[in-house]
Structure 1
Amino acid sequence: MIVLASKSASRAAMLAAAGVAFEARPAAIDERALEADMQGARPDQVALALAEAKALAVPDADSPVLGSDSLVVMGDRRFDKPASREQAAEHLRAFSGRTMQLHSAAALARGGEIAWGHAALATLQVRVLSDAFIESYLDAEWPEVGHCVGVFRIEALGVQLFERIEGDQFTVLGMPLLPVLGALRDLGELPA
């Protein structure tokens, strides 16, 4: 059994569907402070540092702890989870007709040390979104998408935001699952 240092329903669903036994214990870290300390770092480095911090924030002497994080970048701007429905609409207007980069990272800690880490990239082409679509989308998806960087759940109505997606579905869902499963096999947590 592993510990998932997250309250993400998407990450929990991925692990459950893959047959990984886990216990969810969300990590409490100051993500904005860590990001501020990493000014100038590449987005994949920031995502991985956040995943590592989450994995280390949930101590467990017996089980590996899995931390994961995702961030969205468009040009030079990094987007966090929206703080309000109004900010969610602003983010969607900013994404409209543009390409976003979604960086998803995961890290495994064992005995208070990072044992493994990986960052992956997905590129998502957002279609042109009308104000009417944005409002109807948020009517249906708010407040759930308020917990999602990029203001979408790809497994729900969020799929309607995009024209094209490059990258694996697990990265888009918020965790590079295939490398995580490989690392768990390497650590002896899953059969090889």
Structure 2
Amino acid sequence: MSEIALGAGPGALILASKSAARRAMLENACVPFAVRVAGVDEAAIKAESGDLDAAALAVRLAEAKAVAVSRDDETAWVLGSDQTLAFENRLISKAPTLETARERLRAMRGKTHHLHSGAALATKGQVVWSGVDTVRMRMRDFSDAFLDAYLEAEGEALLACVGSYRLEGMGSQLFEAVDGDYFTVLGLPLWPVLAELRRTGVLTA
């Protein structure tokens, strides 16, 4: 098992996210951790952060999640993470319905957008590190028929994805080019996170 009990002792790592993709990345990297979802009001944070660009907003959301959970367990290190998507100078949020997802994917096809993955590590209610990585994503000019088949195959699971796609699934067929790190697309800037976990002693190898 790669998961440890909450409060298992000093140095325990908690992932403050319900994302299956982020959990899988840490598990595959053999990082021991537990999961505790942060109960932060993302809509309120976004409303209060109008001065930030999409990349900085991803970091602020990640920091808020990490701090919220770390206040409940002062012995643990807490990893928060979040993604934002910028398209044509606009912030794109998760689609509330599949029809909204259809409209957004139609608008983005044949064009480029930027996906930002922010991460933060906190302990004792304080952020000790945060960072962000950005990937440039270019969608191919796919047909309406493909879009219909894609939405039918993927279903409402897409509503949990900021861009209405999962690159680890059929969503890879939406793209013609991706410039950046694959882990960042999945939702976590994994290399910087692993480096920080080693720096702080959470990982000792």
2:124 paired with 1:111: yes
SS of equivalent residue, structure 1 residue 103: strand
Misfit runs of 4+, over 4 Å: none
Question: Which of the residues 179, 184, 188 maps onto 1:175?
Answer: 188
2:97 paired with 1:84: yes
Q: How big is the shift at 1:40?
A: 2.9
Q: Spell out, residue by residue over 1:24-63, the C-alpha distance to the aligned partner (whole angstroms, 9 max, x if none).
A: 1111111111111111311111000000001011132111
Which blocks of at least 5 consecutive residues in structure 1 are unaligned? Answer: none
Whole-Å Cα distance in 2 between the matches of residues 57 and 169 of structure 1? Answer: 28
Instruction: Say how many residue pairs are matched.
Output: 192
In the TM superposition, what are the counterparts of 1:10-159 in structure 2 within 5 Å? Answer: 10-58=21-69, 59-159=72-172
Whole-Å Cα distance in 2 between the matches of residues 10 and 60 of structure 1? Answer: 24
What is the identity percentage for the equivalent residue pairs of Structure 1 and Structure 2? 46
Q: How big is the shift at 1:97?
A: 0.7
SS of equivalent residue, structure 1 residue 175: coil
Larger radius of gyration: 2
Whole-Å Cα distance in 1 between the matches of residues 194 and 158 of structure 2? Answer: 27
Q: One-letter code of the match for 1:138?
A: L
Q: One-letter code of the match for 1:124?
A: M
Q: How big is the shift at 1:145?
A: 1.3
Which blocks of at least 5 consecutive residues in structure 2 are unaligned? Answer: 1-11
TM-score norm. by structure 2 comes to 0.91
Q: How big is the shift at 1:183?
A: 0.4
SS of equivalent residue, structure 1 residue 142: helix
SS of equivalent residue, structure 2 residue 58: helix
Name the Cα RMSD after superposition.
0.9
Corresponding position of 2:201: 188
Q: Spell out, residue by residue over 1:129-168, the C-alpha distance to the aligned partner (whole angstroms, 9 max, x if none).
A: 2221111101001111110011111111010010000011
